[in-house]
Amino acid sequence: MANSKIRVAVLGVNGRGKDHIAGFAGVPEAEVVCLCDPDNRVSAKAGAAFETRYGRRPDLVQDLRRVFDRKDIDAVSIATPNHWHALATIWACQAGKDVYVEKPGAHSIWEGRKMIEAAHKYKRIVQHGVQLRSSEALQEGVEHLRKGTIGNVYMSRGLVFRWRPSIGKKQPSQVPPELDYNLWQGPAQERPYSERWVHYNWHWHWDWGNGDVGNQGIHETDMCMWGLGVDTLPTKVTSMGGKFLFDDDKETPEVQTSLYHYPDQKKMIQFEVRHWCTNDEQGASVGNIFYGSEGYLVVYNYNKYAIFMGQKREPGPTRTAGGDHYANFIKAVQSRKTSDQHGPVETAHLSSALAHMGNISYRLGRQLTFDPKSETFTGDSEANQFIKRNYRKPFVVPEKV
């Protein structure tokens, strides 16, 4: 494999999958050979665009299980809705494929741990789509946090201020003939088809999505943990918010504030989601702010940081530079070294679980206590019901991967 191109199939090509296609097509050591989507309209459109841009026609497949059956595919890139991420990753590992999986890595806390178990058991490279970790600028920024440039770093904030309009209201309707809706639903419990969630707006429904903290926000939850240097989940979490402007079909909150506390490490994470008219913070509307005893560091989007020192907020070091997260994955696939990865499978679990914990607290309307070792809520059967979903056969994440 080290001397030949890595043959990649992209699963889910309506939204983020388009970026996956372009990303891997730009890596000389990789070759996109197959596009897979349960909606034949989507895959046909993506296939035609691919042929126009790259001069060849990829294979088009509707059922991702047929992709896993193929021996000529080395890796899969998963850009399906969130509720499919973990099961598709596990099935791919079992089939001997390496995996690039879009954020959030998992739809629930329990699923994330199963992804880690599968990657380790089958010795697969599983890369989480947290592109910030491949940014040379943000790698440098984290080094500043580690070496004490802003002093003792005790808190990080994640910011997701994205313009999210009303999605309106829609009733159930007839399934389009080109869509395998049973396959689209996958592990989720069956519900009548509606354009209210197929395709993009599934993000705002609990059966398939995780709200904006589990959408754009995973980049920032991951950045919070990376910058603070924490590699476990917090022991206390509280979250509140709601829908204040729009009477529409969204189930997830439009405004949400979550607090995650690591009392033993004397660290805390704050996370804010805003959806409409709002100010930015120190010039950042999507990003992070790290607070230290001597100053603070701001992360802007995907490839820039800036430091401000002392009470007068004197400008300090700053840098803008990107990186190629897809190329990093291919490098690790060729070397077979997880140490080469910028976004290993563990990040797919931890950064996603942080978002899930906030959502569980929000849905229950109270503070929760968590045991990071067992990855369950302490003495709280009501909260623990959200740790793992009820799966619909045959789309079941197995107890033993």
CATH of the domain at 42: 3.40.50.720
Q: What is the pLDDT of residues 251-299, one digit of tens each?
A: 999 999 999 999 999 999 999 999 999 999 999 999 999 999 999 999 9
Same domain, 260 and 146: yes
Contact 42, 14 (CB under 8 A): yes
Q: What is the pLDDT of residues 23-50, one digit of tens each?
A: 999 999 999 999 999 999 999 999 999 9
Same domain, 58 and 162: no
Q: What is the pLDDT of residues 222-256, one digit of tens each?
A: 999 999 999 999 999 999 999 999 999 999 999 99
Its domain, for residue 83, covers 6-132+325-343
First to last CA, the chain: 25
Please report, as a single letter, which amino acid is at residue 378. T
Percentage of the chain modeled with pLDDT above 90: 99
Please report, as a single letter, which amino acid is at residue 279. N
Same domain, 224 and 268: yes
Q: Pairing between strand 153-161 and 267-274?
A: parallel
Distances (CA, A) of 12 to 7, 207, 271: 16, 18, 29
What's the domain count of the chain?
Answer: 2
Same domain, 100 and 143: no
Same domain, 290 and 228: yes
